[in-house]
Amino acid sequence: MLIRPATPGDVPSIRALEQQAETAAHWAEREYDALFAAEAPPRIALVATSEEDAGCVIGFVIARCATAEWEIENLVVAPEKRNRGVGIKIIRELLLLAQSEGATSVLLEVRESNLAARRLYEKLGFSQQGRRSNYYREPEEDALLLCFYITNLRQFGLEAE
């Protein structure tokens, strides 16, 4: 598996993956297109591709990159590739990138009912910092606010190889 920065050419594959994931943040096409616009807020989009076909996107993460505090806005792994380490590898790469850019923490919101995602984030060392009542719609649900402190990279075995 290869993790690389996304390109505008990856947007159709990213959108197709997102539409397959019930728990993903569902963005409009214009929001994905805006990822690469000059006036867009600072973001990073990484994609995971298969080694056999570098054009086949099997997962992605999108994060907003503020100076010290980054925020994961969306993470999706293809249904047939789940439980194979794709999510761990793509988040690890994002955390290392955040460290190299001087970030001190990475935040995210996750649906309280999304147990698979919560287990992934806990395994990686994210901890619950709060709750946002009725944050999600359709269905209405609380969000758990999770945070990873970059100083914990070594503790969770996520440092650069």
Condensed to tens digits (0 to 9), the pLDDT of residues 73-128 reads 999 999 888 888 999 999 999 999 999 999 999 999 999 999 989 999 999 999 99
Q: How confident is the model at residue 34 (pLDDT cuts 50, 70, 90)?
A: confident
Is the pLDDT score of 30 beyond 70? yes
The residue range of the domain holding 20 is 2-152
Indicate the pTM of the whole model: 0.89
Task: Report the candidate in 71, 93, 119 with the shortest Cα–Cα distance to residue 2.
Answer: 93
User: Which residues belong to the active site?
Assistant: 109, 121
What average pLDDT does the segment 53-80 reach?
90
Q: Is residue 17 part of a domain?
A: yes
Domain count along the chain: 1
Q: Is residue 124 part of a domain?
A: yes
Q: CATH number of the domain that 71 lies in?
A: 3.40.630.30
Q: Is residue 160 part of a domain?
A: no
Q: How confident is the model at residue 35 (pLDDT cuts 50, 70, 90)?
A: confident
Q: CA–CA separation, 134 vs 139, rounded Å?
A: 9
